[in-house]
Amino acid sequence: MDKVTQQQIEDGLAQPATRRSFLGKSALLGLTGAGVSFGLAACKENGGAAAPAASASAKAAGGELGHEVQPGQLDDYYHFSSGGHSGEARILGLPSGRTLRRIPVFNIDPMVGWGITNESKAIMGTKADGSLKYTTGDTHHVHGSYKDGIYDGRWLFINDKMHGRLARIRMDTMECDKIIELPNIQGFHGIFPDKCDPVDPKINYTTRVFCGAEFHIPLPNDGRDLGDPSKWGCLFTCVDAASMEVRWQVRVDGNMDLVATSYDGKLAASNQYNVENGADLASMMSAERDACVFFDVARIEALVKAGKFTTIGGSKVPVVDGRKAANPDAKTAVTCYVPVGKNPHGVNASPDGKYFVCSGKLSPTATVIELALVQKWFAGELKDARDAVVAEPEIGLGPLHTAFDGKGNAYTTLFLDSQIVKWNVDKAIAHFKGDKTAKVVMDRIDVHYQPGHGYSSMGETKEADGKYYNSGNKFSKDRFLPVGPLHSETEQLINISGEKMKLISDHTAYPEPHDGIMVRRDLVKTRQIYHMDDFANAVKTPADSRVERKGNKVSIFLMSQAPNYSMPIIKVKKGDEVTLTLTNHDKVEDLTHGCAIPTHNVNFIVNPQETKSVTFKTDKPGAYWIYCTHFCHALHLEMRSRLLVEG
């Protein structure tokens, strides 16, 4: 049997042993008596079962794009979505709408042990006693890292609006590897990675993540100025994508909703409501227009480098003042406030890199801002920031978010009209210039019922392909079987490849997802097994399986290899603090083992060649079966060890 290395697998020169071939052979051996010896499951082949046939795009009657993906075929897109109240991210396949995975981020998930294992707790953050600092989250927006203006398959970034946290997900394993808490902010809502360095165009990949805060708070928020909201502030934050450390913050006027970045890396922006800086609903509604605030990234970083910043409270993060009053000269300003429709909701970048579009929400319009004109304002060559607006078409009631098809058309959700409206950007510009014959609105389609976020296939990249549009809807009360007072929500998939939009399917969504992205499947490269050497605490050989005691602290080092754990009996004492480290020695793709211990709140999995650990107290004498929770073998039910707690 030829030896297959992990590097060969990752280079595409070989395939790991498949679960199908493993189960077919090792199960037979196990049932004839040979499978009880530790080490059987190391059986491995070069190759394995044939991969499913490549999927062609799903087709409906007449050859049009459809949603049905035949058994054994693959979806064309990954749909990465936020999970809302759950604090997780979700992966669906499109166009089928099949749920592929839920990625725990800010939530506890016993299936994978997230929030239970020591490794996940270290990422999530703990209190002094080792318990989780937070057990809840509120995810709204998920975006991928870029190279050359398209997704590069490295990372996903997702926000926690509730606790002001930013998380990073590795796209090769679809697991969260870093979470940070942003200082000096509350209501962290908008998020977007940069696509290129603001100074060096050779750095044409994501190096920063921009985060917009929505709520004004006292600065610092330590009990001062509680009775005087006029002194409160709001900050825009830049995080280093690689180190996940905060680079700098900018104080702004107004509340920030979503974030967008330019393809040349020079500008980031956030649409703003409450430019009045009000503290209640009435005072937030008095201005005729709100704004889209643009940030000149290079200028901000030059000020930080020159030491022209302040800090807030105990935070050492540099803070630059980006309020209008502090930036009277456009030639030195770090921010540009472009007036847009009242209470805008959403800002999105067109695939050609020319425009940002804000929706009005309380205005029936969308505002098109030309980025070249914003740059002219920063150069002192444009008198009024409002002159950067090149179109403001009236498109319908309650416009929220805009997507693009790469053919010059925009698609905006209309919350109050319960529609998606398709309109043409160039014709909107022509109409704004005075051509009243220009037909701006191209099509409308009803959705069910109040659409929030909407996004198109590859629509936030320069390779927007104009095939599918996903409408994320609220109040979808009669689309599915009723399940009590709280109903499923709807992700409705629309074919946008032709002149007319066509609704082709409904997908259920557990409440309450927000934003998402559609990524071509060829851009996502997942790994199939781990490197054991990546884990410093890996239990590498049977001889390393052991129990160590230091006072009442006990360390158990255990291996799993179907259908066995490496130690059948483990003895500890009542009152011990036990750390169990488990390494999965199987090398078969998808051959995952679970580990659960009754009454001890332990439940997690280890993937092939992975190591995880848990720490728990043994507070009651007795016998407790350590058992595998994830089906792994014909003798899966027999895969157990005995934890004996002596009094």
Strand pairing of 553-561 and 577-584?
parallel
Question: Nearest CA to 519 among 471, 456, 473?
Answer: 456
Residue 1 pLDDT exceeds 50: no
- Say what the pLDDT of residue 293 is: 98
Work out the burial of residue 481: count CB atoms within 10 Å of its CB; fewer than 13 is exposed, 13-18 middle, 19 or more buried: exposed
- Say what the pLDDT of residue 523 is: 98
Mean pLDDT of the chain: 92
Cis peptide before 301 (omega within 30 of 0): no
DSSP 16: P
* Range list of H helices, 412-541: 425-432
Distance CA 260, CA 552 (A): 53
Q: Per mean pLDDT, which range of 30-34, 99-103, 261-265, 318-322 is the poorest?
A: 30-34
DSSP 429: H
Q: What is the pLDDT of residues 65-113, one digit of tens each?
A: 889 999 999 999 999 999 999 999 999 999 999 999 999 999 999 999 9
Ordered strands of the 142-147 beta sheet: 142-147, 150-160, 165-170, 175-181
Q: Is residue 95 part of a domain?
A: no
Strand pairing of 319-321 and 246-252?
parallel
Q: Is residue 599 part of a domain?
A: yes
Q: What is the pLDDT of residues 284-325, one digit of tens each?
A: 888 889 999 999 999 999 999 999 999 999 999 999 999 999
Q: What is the pLDDT of residues 400-451, one digit of tens each?
A: 999 999 999 999 999 999 999 999 999 999 999 999 999 999 999 999 999 9
- Give me the residues paired with residue 474 across strands: 450
Q: Is residue 597 part of a domain?
A: yes
Residue 136 pLDDT exceeds 50: yes
Q: Is residue 182 part of a domain?
A: no
Residue 575 pLDDT exceeds 60: yes
Residue 281 pLDDT exceeds 90: no
Q: Is residue 494 part of a domain?
A: no
Residue 534 pLDDT exceeds 80: yes
Strand pairing of 389-391 and 366-370?
antiparallel
Q: For residue 575, what are its two tokens?
A: 């009152």
Share of the chain above pLDDT 70, in %: 91
Whose tokens are 């529609």? That residue is 419
The CATH number that applies at residue 545 is 2.60.40.420
- In this prediction, residues 178-195 reach a mean pLDDT of 98
Residue 55 pLDDT exceeds 80: no
Distance CA 170, CA 174 (A): 5
Q: Strands (DSSP E) along 366-501, which ranges?
A: 366-370, 389-391, 399-404, 409-414, 419-424, 441-446, 450-456, 468-474, 489-495
- Say what the pLDDT of residue 35 is: 39
- Please tell me the total count of domains within the chain: 2
Q: Is residue 289 part of a domain?
A: no
pLDDT interval class at 582 (50, 70, 90): very high
pLDDT interval class at 17 (50, 70, 90): low
Q: Is residue 299 part of a domain?
A: no
Residue 2 pLDDT exceeds 70: no
Q: What is the pLDDT of residues 159-170, one digit of tens each?
A: 999 999 999 999
SS (H, E, C) 352-393: CCCEEEEECCCCCEEEEEEHHHHHHHHCCCCCCHHHHEEECC
Q: Is residue 264 part of a domain?
A: no
pLDDT interval class at 15 (50, 70, 90): low
Coil, strand or helix at 436: coil
**Domain with 5 in it:** 1-30
Decide: 168 and 175 in contact? Cβ < 8 Å. Answer: no
